[in-house]
């Protein structure tokens, strides 16, 4: 039986490449002898590139394990100990070539993505916007290059939730089950990387983007040139001056009192990038609110399990729901 000594999993709404690293002893003893393998094996020889991988983690009770990662073996490092590098479902697109083109300005983003994932195990999110894409012809490119094109040219956020591909705004409405709650001083291991910021100290740059019928981007900018960039999509406005006004209004919305940074919790409660995070602070109730979970790093080993969550923009104050549509 192979005993895992270390697991690391990284996922983010700003990357469509989920990664996992599994560390195992260099040799292992199987519970039962098979026809293909002897009872004692060299660990690295039992794994091959492209093998399907699922990582389930939890505490004690098998019924409460959560699937933290689903993907494929990318590389086997035959060292001591043995290290298995894994990649999410972007692995299938990395090995597929597509003719990335549109048809008479009538092609929708969903149509392009459906063509991209054809023949793979990937499904498309129902939350992908009904967005037209005009006049594209990029020739024969890989599936991951196509996703890079979407991020660069359409200013969209692209990421996977296991085998489900999403492209669109960074924040979308989530069902109630897709949220987690952290209480400072209660169910967090560390919160020293969580910082409180005031609206007057926030530096942000907003880009309001619209497209012509030739798929040329028109951009209106507002805010601090050295600030974090946020992108919003605007339809039916092709005036740069008007787009700048929209950007100025959005920049004002993004200047708020609230938290930013990272918190470290246990494996429970379970959370994935894109979830809502409800932060409670018994000492400063005015700082409480709901935030976007931008990335997670899950670590599991002999010292236990930890989930490091990167907190993004504030979605709402306590008892208030205000949708934010930025990338």
pLDDT in tens, 251-260: 777 777 778 8
**Count of CB atoms within 10 A of residue 10's CB?**
19
Mean pLDDT, rounded, for 139-143: 83
Helix or strand run (H / E) with residue 177: none
- Cα 55 to Cα 65, 71, 171: the distances in Å are 10, 9, 26
pLDDT in tens, 237-295: 677 887 888 888 777 777 777 788 999 999 999 999 999 999 998 888 777 889 999 99
Please state whether beta strands 52-57 and 66-77 pair in parallel, antiparallel, or not at all (unpaired). Answer: antiparallel
**pLDDT band (50, 70, 90) for residue 134:** low
Q: What is the pLDDT of residue 326?
A: 39
Residues 295 and 273 sit within 8 Å (Cβ to Cβ): yes
- The closest of 272, 255, 270, 233 to 314, measured between CA atoms, is 255
pLDDT in tens, 63-98: 788 999 999 999 998 777 889 999 999 999 999 988
44-58, 62-76, 87-101, 137-151: least confident range: 137-151
Q: Is the peptide bond before 132 cis (omega within 30 degrees of 0)?
A: no
Q: What distance, in Å, lies between the first and last C-alpha atoms of the chain?
A: 45
Higher pLDDT, 197 or 22: 22
Q: Collapsing DSSP states into helix, strand and coil, what is residue 240? A: helix
- Most distant CA atoms of the chain, gap in Å: 72
Q: What is the pLDDT of residue 322?
A: 33
For residue 323, pLDDT beyond 90: no
23 Cβ partners below 8 Å, 6+ apart? 4, 5, 6, 7, 81, 82, 83, 84
**292 token code pair:** 């976007």
Which residues partner with 9 through β-bridges?
20, 298
Q: How much of the chain exceeds pLDDT 90, in percent?
A: 39
**pLDDT band (50, 70, 90) for residue 163:** very high
Q: What is the pLDDT of residue 324?
A: 35
Q: Name the DSSP letter for residue 62.
A: G
Q: What is the pLDDT of residue 325?
A: 38
pLDDT in tens, 170-211: 777 777 888 999 998 889 999 889 888 777 777 888 888 887
Residues 158 and 147 sit within 8 Å (Cβ to Cβ): yes
For residue 8, pLDDT beyond 80: yes
For residue 310, pLDDT beyond 80: yes
Q: Is the peptide bond before 198 cis (omega within 30 degrees of 0)?
A: no
* Phi then psi dihedrals of residue 148, to 5 deg: -60, -40
The span from the CA of 170 to the CA of 163, in Å, is 18
Q: What is the pLDDT of residue 321?
A: 35
For residue 318, pLDDT beyond 50: no
**Count of CB atoms within 10 A of residue 219's CB?**
14
Mean pLDDT of the chain: 83
Residues 275 and 293 sit within 8 Å (Cβ to Cβ): yes
Q: Collapsing DSSP states into helix, strand and coil, what is residue 327? A: coil
For residue 136, pLDDT beyond 70: no
Q: What is the pLDDT of residue 1?
A: 46
The span from the CA of 139 to the CA of 92, in Å, is 19
Mean pLDDT, rounded, for 206-219: 80
Higher pLDDT, 35 or 213: 213
């Amino acid at each position: 039986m192979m005993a895992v000594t270390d697991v690391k999993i990284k996922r983010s709404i700003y990357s469509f490449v989920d990664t996992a690293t599994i560390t195992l002893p260099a040799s292992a003893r199987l519970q039962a002898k098979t026809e293909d393998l002897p009872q004692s094996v060299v660990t690295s020889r039992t794994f091959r590139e492209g093998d399907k991988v699922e990582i389930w983690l939890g505490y004690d009770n098998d019924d409460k394990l959560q699937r933290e990662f689903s993907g494929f073996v990318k590389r086997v490092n035959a060292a001591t100990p043995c290290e298995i590098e894994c990649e999410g479902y972007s692995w299938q697109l990395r090995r597929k070539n597509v003719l990335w083109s549109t048809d008479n300005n009538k092609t929708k983003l969903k149509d392009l993505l459906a063509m991209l994932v054809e023949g793979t195990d990937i499904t498309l999110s129902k939350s992908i916007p009904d967005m037209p894409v005009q006049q594209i012809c990029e020739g024969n490119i890989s599936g991951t290059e196509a996703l890079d094109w979407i991020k660069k040219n359409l200013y969209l956020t692209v990421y996977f939730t296991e085998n489900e591909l999403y492209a669109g705004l960074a924040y979308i409405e989530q069902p109630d089950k897709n949220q987690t709650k952290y209480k400072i001083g209660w169910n967090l291991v560390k919160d020293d990387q969580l910082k409180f910021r005031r609206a007057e100290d926030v530096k942000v740059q907003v880009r309001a983007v619209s497209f012509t019928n030739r798929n040329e981007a028109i951009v209106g900018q507002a805010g601090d040139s050295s600030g974090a960039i946020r992108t919003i999509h605007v339809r039916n406005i092709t005036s740069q001056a008007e787009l700048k006004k929209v950007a100025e209004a959005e920049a004002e919305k993004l200047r708020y009192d609230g938290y930013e940074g990272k918190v470290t919790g246990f494996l429970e409660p379970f959370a994935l990038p894109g979830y809502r995070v409800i932060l409670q602070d018994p000492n400063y109730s005015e700082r409480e609110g709901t935030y976007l979970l931008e990335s997670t790093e899950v670590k599991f080993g002999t010292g236990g399990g930890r989930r490091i969550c990167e907190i993004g923009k504030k979605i709402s104050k306590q008892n208030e729901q205000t949708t934010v549509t930025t990338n």
